[in-house]
Structure 1
Amino acid sequence: MNMPTHIPLRVLPADDVQLRNDAAVLQDRFGRRFSYLRLSVTDVCNFRCNYCLPDGYQCTDTPVPLTLEEIGRIARTFAAMGTRKIRITGGEPSLRKDLPEIIRVLKSTPGIDTVALTTNGYRLTHQIESWVNAGLDQLNVSIDSLDPQQFRAITGHDKLQEILSGLDMARSLGLTRIKVNAVLLRGFNLTEFPQFLHWLKDTDVSLRFIELMQTGDNEEFFRAQHVSGDDIRARLLQAGWVQKARSADDGPAQEFSHAEYAGRIGLIMPYSKDFCSTCNRLRISAQGKLHLCLFGEEGFDLRPLLQNDDSVSLEMRIRELLRDKKATHFLEEGKTGAVRHFAMLGG
């Protein structure tokens, strides 16, 4: 694969890093604005996905996850700086018993227009109603295969049919913004592409194919299983799929639609040229660390600033740290940063 060696971003003069007429909006020195926050509420996961936690979650002595009060302070501060969308991630966020309360706190925060949730779907049929009642706007569910045996081989759980039933329940409750995530794996689900397309004929979801990314502990698996999203993109365009325009608070997916399909397809291709040039998201870990990039540093601890309602100090610290955000993730150079696996930050 020919990989880019740089991301052509325009560096703004120092005086222009802060927006002149809209100082509330977060912006880095490359002119990228950040209206989207990915908020991890736990790093615990109960799945054993072969591309993330093949040996299952390993309990560590990490600090307790963010409290409801700390989450509220984060939401209010980021909303004041122009964040309009917050995605709750894990690990697996449904393992938190107070997840409905977390959704309710985020949804009631002035300025937050969209509260999204990414889940493996394990508890979807049991909890989706409480999430919707709490104000959930958007649901992302990981389904890496539509074949029950292959699904179990990838995740370690025989839960496919129950998760698909959970999607039906979500739609019956009026939740229309539903996305399904599938990590592309050469030896596991690549041959299922026609089956995925058949499913989308009558299923109104956005199916996002995600390129497998190299992390600190999956180098051998990555080399054996990585599939370029460019190959899928070429197949879609040849079959008449049309790329849609990207909204300001959208994630990194390139989304495609087709007149003959109820569903849509998204491609997340972190190895593609200029992938980082449209970055609009920051990440907070379950322990309250700000991560400027999924594949960046260990994270910057904000938790001491979350112990009171001093939002001014918290905002100043976030703005200060944002100056160090790099132009690219350097994945094309084989650098994976501090991320050992995706459960650490929810991808």
Structure 2
Amino acid sequence: MPRPRAAAEFAPGSPGEPLVDTHGRVHRDLRVSLTDRCSLRCTYCMPEQGNEWLAKSSILTLDEIVRIARVAAADGVTTFRLTGGEPLLRSDIVEVVRRLAVIQGPDGRPVELAMTTNGIRLPELLPSLVDAGLARLNISLDTLRRDRFRDLTRRDRLDDVLAGIAAASASGLRPLKLNAVAMRDVNEDELIDLVQFALDHNAELRFIEQMPLDAGHTWDRSRMVTREEILDELSTRWHLTPVPGRGGAPAERWRLDGGPQTVGVIASVTAPFCGDCDRLRLTADGQLRNCLFSTTEYDLLPSLRQPEGSAGDAEIDAAIDGMLRSCVHGKLPGHAINDPGFLQPARGMNAIGG
């Protein structure tokens, strides 16, 4: 497991100041994992059987999540993205959204609340989520073929995912994004079909290069469909024009036939965007991570769960702030996937958070 950092290793800084690392990157995005559990078993994420789930006692409570989020917002974080596992499996998900959506930054502006989901429970929950303050959605969809979906996810739930996408398309949440991991000999012949499906649902398709984040550590670079291969295939159907002004966003975007429709590619392996990364991650069990591929975690649980009466609210908040700054201070220039000495994280993607 990653080595947890203790509170004594806090980096210098004052509450309310921006979260700036030693490479000048200002951090404004916090990915909040709500659970490591999922209703699917995607082959590139977790095994079908034998998963070791996080202990229920270690999962952050709603009050703990809100406390961390308030401190982060005071330090300049403007976007929270709820992830998992599958975030819609959390029983208090609507209340999580409701309480996070009202948090404001130092300028009095509310934070933006987004979610990444497999979409299965959206038809039932989306109206309540929108009412609670959810602003944006990303939905995972790697194939439109039932047999492939069943083989890839080990569950026959394609109809449920498509119903979730239809519900999202009919809602007012925009931009709506569909995420697809491009895999050789799995779905590389569906790239154009997936983009067209997204366009038909007033959504943007974002292709993701397959990354070494599976719990079984079976990632094979040769099975990854690269950014250039994706663009070459899409260029047989549309004229692609780069969209300028990417900033810290993970996806490069292109207009299709001059726009306004677009497609995105997240090329973490062949075209890393680490130099502009503004993201931190909070795992469901209270660990801060400064990179998706980090081998070090910063443990917030001791600060949050001190013996009753041993610390006041201000002291606890200061400890959270200090750990955020320590995490940011320890961030490396890049993830080093392409270096010979790269080590895959011990946690799988479901336990890290998307």
Q: What TM-score, normalized to structure 2?
A: 0.85
Residues of 2 paired with 1:109 and 1:57: CA distance?
38
Residues of 2 paired with 1:270 and 1:285: CA distance?
20
Which secondary structure state, in structure 2, belongs to the residue aligned with residue 332 of structure 1?
A: coil
The CA deviation at 1:337 is 4.0
Match of 1:128 in 2: 126
Matches within 5 A, 1:269-280: 269-280=267-278
The CA deviation at 1:159 is 2.1
The CA deviation at 1:255 is 1.4
Verify the 8 A CA contact 1:243 1:255 in the aligned structure 2. Answer: yes
Residues of 2 paired with 1:70 and 1:284: CA distance?
12
Could you say which structure has the greater relative contact order, defined with CA pairs below 8 angstroms and 6 or more residues apart? 2
- Counterpart code for 2:28: S
Residues of 2 paired with 1:199 and 1:284: CA distance?
32
Match of 1:142 in 2: 140
Q: Which stretch of structure 1 is more off in the superposition, 43-52 or 98-107?
A: 43-52
Residues of 1 paired with 2:74 and 2:179: CA distance?
30
Matches within 5 A, 1:306-317: 306-307=304-305, 309=313, 310-317=316-323
Q: Deviations over 1:135-157 (max 9, x none)?
A: 10011111010112211111122
Residues of 1 paired with 2:96 and 2:215: CA distance?
31
Match of 1:13 in 2: none
Residues of 2 paired with 1:247 and 1:77: CA distance?
27
Residues of 2 paired with 1:262 and 1:204: CA distance?
11
Match of 1:3 in 2: none
Residues of 2 paired with 1:224 and 1:57: CA distance?
27
Verify the 8 A CA contact 1:296 1:329 in the aligned structure 2. Answer: yes
Give 4+ residue runs of structure 1 displaced > 6 Å after superposition. none
Verify the 8 A CA contact 1:24 1:81 in the aligned structure 2. Answer: yes
Q: Residues 56 and 180 from structure 1, CA distance in 2 versus in 1: closer, same or farther, beyond 3 angstroms?
A: farther
Verify the 8 A CA contact 1:244 1:254 in the aligned structure 2. Answer: yes
Residues of 2 paired with 1:216 and 1:53: CA distance?
6
Match of 2:6 in 1: none
Match of 1:329 in 2: 335
- Counterpart code for 2:352: L
Matches within 5 A, 1:210-289: 210-215=208-213, 217-236=215-234, 239-246=238-245, 248=247, 251-259=249-257, 263-289=261-287
Residues of 1 paired with 2:41 and 2:194: CA distance?
23
In the comparison of the two structures, how many residue pairs are matched? 328
Match of 2:69 in 1: 75
The CA deviation at 1:183 is 0.6
The CA deviation at 1:170 is 2.1
Verify the 8 A CA contact 1:283 1:294 in the aligned structure 2. Answer: yes
Match of 2:9 in 1: none
- Counterpart code for 1:244: V
Residues of 1 paired with 2:233 and 2:272: CA distance?
21
Q: What TM-score, normalized to structure 1?
A: 0.86
Match of 2:345 in 1: 338
Q: Residues 44 and 246 from structure 1, CA distance in 2 versus in 1: closer, same or farther, beyond 3 angstroms?
A: farther
Match of 2:4 in 1: none
Q: Which stretch of structure 1 is more off in the superposition, 137-146 or 168-177?
A: 168-177
Q: Which stretch of structure 1 is more off in the superposition, 183-192 or 295-304?
A: 295-304
Matches within 5 A, 1:150-165: 150-165=148-163
Q: Deviations over 1:274-330 (max 9, x none)?
A: 521111100011011111111112411012222463322221222133211111111
- Counterpart code for 1:266: G
Residues of 1 paired with 2:140 and 2:114: CA distance?
14
Q: Give me the identity figure in percent.
A: 34
Residues of 1 paired with 2:88 and 2:73: CA distance?
24
* 1:293 and 2:277 correspond: no
Q: Which stretch of structure 1 is more off in the superposition, 89-98 or 227-236?
A: 227-236
Which secondary structure state, in structure 2, belongs to the residue aligned with residue 270 of structure 1?
A: coil
Verify the 8 A CA contact 1:129 1:170 in the aligned structure 2. Answer: no
> Which of 320, 324, 336 in structure 2 is aligned with 1:318?
324
Match of 2:46 in 1: 53
Verify the 8 A CA contact 1:202 1:263 in the aligned structure 2. Answer: no
Q: Deviations over 1:122-172 (max 9, x none)?
A: 212221112111110011111010112211111122222332222222232
Match of 1:32 in 2: 25
The CA deviation at 1:264 is 2.3
> Which of 92, 96, 101 in structure 2 is aligned with 1:98?
92
The CA deviation at 1:113 is 2.6
